[in-house]
Structure 1
Amino acid sequence: MNQAKQSRIEFETWEYILPAIEEIAKVSAKGFAKYGPGNWTRVETKDNINHALRHLCLYRDKREGVPLPEGEENENHLAHACARLMMEMAKGKYIK
């Protein structure tokens, strides 16, 4: 059998992509319900970056035992940060 040529993958990429995508989708669904499905296209780049950085800082603080602001304790801050960055990537590619 002839196989097509392709790059060799040293690890299974789906090991971490699928679980992460599921968490990002949960966060996104909450955002769509709260703000409407097309709202993300109107968010400015600086706001997406600032919010992503804020969520990364909250993730770090939680891991280090720093008390989080009220209402932030149970949020998946990595998923929120990823969602903001993915919105920005999608805007750059699909929204002109």
Structure 2
Amino acid sequence: MSKYTFTDFTLELVSECESAPMCIKIGNTGFSIDLPKGGAFYFVPLSESEENVVMFKMDSSTDRPPEISFIVSNIELEQLKKVSLLPVNGLCGEKHG
């Protein structure tokens, strides 16, 4: 298992767990969310800022809105794109993964 630390959360890659290959851990309370293999990240830059809204859909094949959203810096977005086992797609057409 690999861990990557971001400003407000830790992302764990659990490649040996096919059904939920990633997990987000938030804070010291042990709060965690398993990210299923059918999910995907989506992002949109905040205008005139070096931050991005990142959203996660548990099932990327539906038209339901994302279940999770958070803000990351441009640097952290690039890190997420590099380490994610799931797709990271820009809402303006950029795709990664």
Larger CA Rg, structure 1 vs 2: 1
> Normalising to structure 1: TM-score of the pair?
0.29
> Normalising to structure 2: TM-score of the pair?
0.29
- Which structure has the highest strand share of the two? 2
Q: 1 or 2 for the larger relative contact order (CA 8 Å, sep ≥6)? A: 1
- Which structure has the highest helix share of the two? 1
